[in-house]
Chains A and B, each alone.
Chain A
Amino acid sequence: MAELRNLGIAFIVFAVLISLSLTINIGFKTLYGIEDNYTIDDKNIAQSLNDLTIVKRMNQTLTGPTDLKIPTGSFLDVVGSLAAAGIGALKTIASLIALPVEIFGVITGFYFIPPVFVSALITIVVLIVGFIIISKYIGSDV
């Protein structure tokens, strides 16, 4: 991992590619009348991946300021909406860290891969984040 920025862009590219696949999939489902062989909660794997936390939290960030629909004039309205947007942004950043585990969780659910792999991935993510924090604290590479 060169920079955290690259990681963020990588997840966005992943989301875009999955959305494109989903668009093609929906296209031939509606045009040719093909039905999904297998779904979890009436969603196929691309739809499940599209519902990841990062997408939802971005929506929360966007809807925060637009919640000011009825101007009551209260100071708390403004603060509350800004706080909602801020929490949404924080959750977006936090979901960047949790995203690999989420993606892996969806894939393992679809392909019946044993959950031991998910816990292994969580361990790896925790170790990497831990080392990054320790490196920042010490000021040199660990």
Chain B
Amino acid sequence: MPIGISNTTNITLQNITNLVNITDPMELFINVNNQVYGGILTFVILWILAVIIFLALQDRENQPLINSMSALAVATILSFFYRAILVIKGGIVYGMITDYQMWVFPILTALLAAINISLKDR
């Protein structure tokens, strides 16, 4: 009984063809994002990027709120770019990121900016 593995897909020629029959490298990324990872790969990658930038900024100066705002601001810019990249396959539009996932970053950035300013002394 395998532990931690469920809903596995058999490797068939059709599955591989769906994945790698591409006309553009970005299409492969979108295919992997949607068909293998269920549309959360880009979102997770953006979060990992934000955490890496946050940790890098923390090394310079220990101010978690401001650093997390800066890190999420970078992720915000990238999320807007990714939202504009779409692929139409078989009449269905696949994107790199959905609206739900995209709006997390700008709203968190704006909330953190509001918190940072409200906590300022003067």
A residues engaging B (CB < 8 A)?
A: 1-2, 6-7, 9-11, 13-14, 17-18, 21, 24-25, 28, 32, 34, 36-38, 44-46, 49, 103, 107, 110-111
Contacts and interface: CB of A to CB of B under 8 A. Distances in A.
A107 B100 CA distance: 11
B83 A1 contact: no
Interface in B101-118: 103, 106-107, 109-111, 113-118
B86 A14 contact: no
Contacts, number: 73
Contact of B103 (A7, A13, A103, A110): A110
Given A17-B106, A21-B107, A37-B99, 16 more contacts: A2-B119, A6-B120, A10-B113, A10-B114, A10-B117, A18-B106, A21-B110, A28-B80, A28-B84, A32-B84, A32-B86, A37-B100, A38-B100, A46-B107, A103-B111, A107-B107
A9 B111 CA distance: 13
24 contacts: A1-B119, A2-B121, A9-B118, A10-B116, A10-B117, A13-B110, A13-B113, A13-B117, A17-B110, A18-B107, A18-B110, A21-B80, A25-B80, A28-B80, A32-B84, A34-B84, A38-B99, A38-B100, A44-B103, A45-B103, A46-B106, A49-B107, A103-B111, A111-B100
Interface of B: 76, 80, 83-84, 86, 98-100, 103, 106-107, 109-111, 113-122
A28 B80 CA distance: 9
B114 A21 contact: no
A14 B110 contact: yes
Contacts of A2: 118-122
Contact of A10 (B99, B109, B118, B121): B118
Contact of A21 (B98, B100, B106, B117): B106
A38 B111 CA distance: 21
A37 B109 CA distance: 21
Contacts of B118: 1-2, 6-7, 9-10
Nearest to B121: A2
A92 to B, nearest CB: 17
Contact of A45 (B84, B107, B113): B107
